[in-house]
């Protein structure tokens, strides 16, 4: 079966960014020439950090709502512990909050300006597992989502018809909805893909989902930082 195995990002200093993801976020790294591959051990996707194609001295990357690429999501069991660790290390991160009936989450940016979402397996007040204070982010993290934006979800679903649609989440108050796809034969516990009860199940999946933030009719721009996805045909685990 295919696997969403990597996210290609072009950044000014791949080595320095790899150090951030290993030291602060608890990933492992491989040095491959001028590229660094960082990730958690398991079936989720890695980050493939490549040198930027932008000329030296150009303006740093700043995320915008008009970007096609949005973020990665790191799913973990204990967001409060992860937040406390990051704050003690001087990393700027938003305070954890329950976002509607989607999840208990926080956000930060890495040193290259790329957005990271931290998403707890369980909703606020229902945490089933406590993190390990000796491990970065409390341990047991994985890249749960790679998020792109689209104005035409019908076209996206057709282009990814070999993936399984696992969840549809309506965020009408903010003018969009979310679609989560993966290379898997699994089905969510509730066959209603909009069921809220499926969401903690989704945040625990060991593989990476491709998430689309759908704003009907909107158009989005390609950014220099996002250089595509890696799809593999084997079942080998990540870094």
What contacts 139, CB < 8 A, 6 or more positions away? 26, 76, 77, 131, 132
What contacts 46, CB < 8 A, 6 or more positions away? 5, 6, 7, 37, 38, 39, 143, 230, 238, 239
Q: What is the DSSP string of 68-89?
A: SEEEEEEEES-HHHHHHHHHHT
- Going by C-alpha positions, the residue among 129, 147, 146, 145 that lies closest to residue 137 is 129
Q: Is 168 exposed, middle or buried (0-12, 13-18, 19+ CB in 10 A)?
A: middle
Can you read off the two tokens belonging to residue 61? 């990357």
CA atoms within 13 A on the CB side of 77: 12
The answer to the question of residue 87 being in a domain is yes
The answer to the question of residue 26 being in a domain is no
- Going by C-alpha positions, the residue among 159, 164, 183, 180 that lies closest to residue 232 is 183
Predicted confidence (pLDDT) per residue in 140-156, tens digit: 999 999 999 999 999 99
Report yes or no on whether pTM surpasses 0.85.
yes
Tell me the C-alpha distance between 193 and 188, whole Å.
Answer: 8
Predicted confidence (pLDDT) per residue in 81-93, tens digit: 999 999 999 999 9
Q: How confident is the model at residue 237 (pLDDT cuts 50, 70, 90)?
A: very low
The answer to the question of residue 99 being in a domain is yes
Taking the CA atoms of 119, 123, 127 and 128 in sequence, report the sign of the dihedral they define. Answer: negative
Provide the pLDDT for residue 80. 98
The answer to the question of residue 140 being in a domain is yes
Where is average pLDDT lowest: 53-62, 168-177, 194-203, 230-239? 230-239
Tell me the C-alpha distance between 204 and 77, whole Å.
Answer: 9
Provide the pLDDT for residue 235. 52
- Going by C-alpha positions, the residue among 156, 111, 146 that lies closest to residue 230 is 146
Average pLDDT over residues 34-38: 97
The number of folded domains in the chain is 1
Provide the pLDDT for residue 53. 83
The answer to the question of residue 4 being in a domain is no
Provide the pLDDT for residue 193. 98
Give the range of the structural domain holding residue 132, as residue numbers without chain letter: 62-223
Can you tell me whether residue 54 is helix, strand or coil?
coil
The answer to the question of residue 182 being in a domain is yes
The answer to the question of residue 48 being in a domain is no
The answer to the question of residue 8 being in a domain is no
In CATH, what number is assigned to the domain containing residue 88?
3.10.180.10
Tell me the C-alpha distance between 160 and 164, whole Å.
Answer: 9
Provide the pLDDT for residue 238. 47
């Amino acid at each position: 079966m295919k696997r969403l195995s990597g996210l290609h990002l072009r950044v000014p200093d791949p080595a320095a960014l790899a150090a951030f993801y290993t030291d602060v976020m608890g990933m492992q790294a491989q040095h491959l020439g001028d590229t660094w591959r960082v990730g958690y051990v398991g079936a989720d996707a890695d980050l493939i950090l490549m040198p930027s194609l932008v000329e030296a001295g150009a303006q740093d990357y700043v995320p915008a709502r008009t970007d096609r690429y949005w973020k990665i999501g790191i799913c973990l069991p204990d967001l409060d512990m992860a937040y406390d660790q990051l704050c003690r290390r001087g990393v700027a991160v938003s305070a954890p909050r329950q976002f509607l009936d989607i999840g208990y989450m926080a956000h930060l940016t890495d040193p290259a300006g790329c957005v990271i979402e931290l998403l707890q397996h369980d909703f606020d007040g229902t945490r089933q597992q406590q993190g390990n204070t000796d491990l970065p982010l409390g341990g047991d993290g994985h890249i749960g989502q790679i998020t792109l934006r689209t104005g035409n979800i019908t076209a996206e679903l057709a282009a990814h018809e070999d993936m399984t649609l696992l969840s549809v989440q309506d965020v009408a108050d903010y003018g969009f909805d979310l679609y989560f796809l993966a290379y898997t034969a699994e089905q969510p516990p509730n066959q209603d893909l909009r069921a809220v009860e499926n969401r903690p199940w989704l945040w625990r999946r060991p593989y990476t989902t491709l998430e689309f933030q759908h704003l009907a009719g909107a158009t989005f721009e390609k950014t220099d930082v996002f250089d595509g996805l890696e799809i593999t045909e084997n079942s080998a685990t990540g870094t």
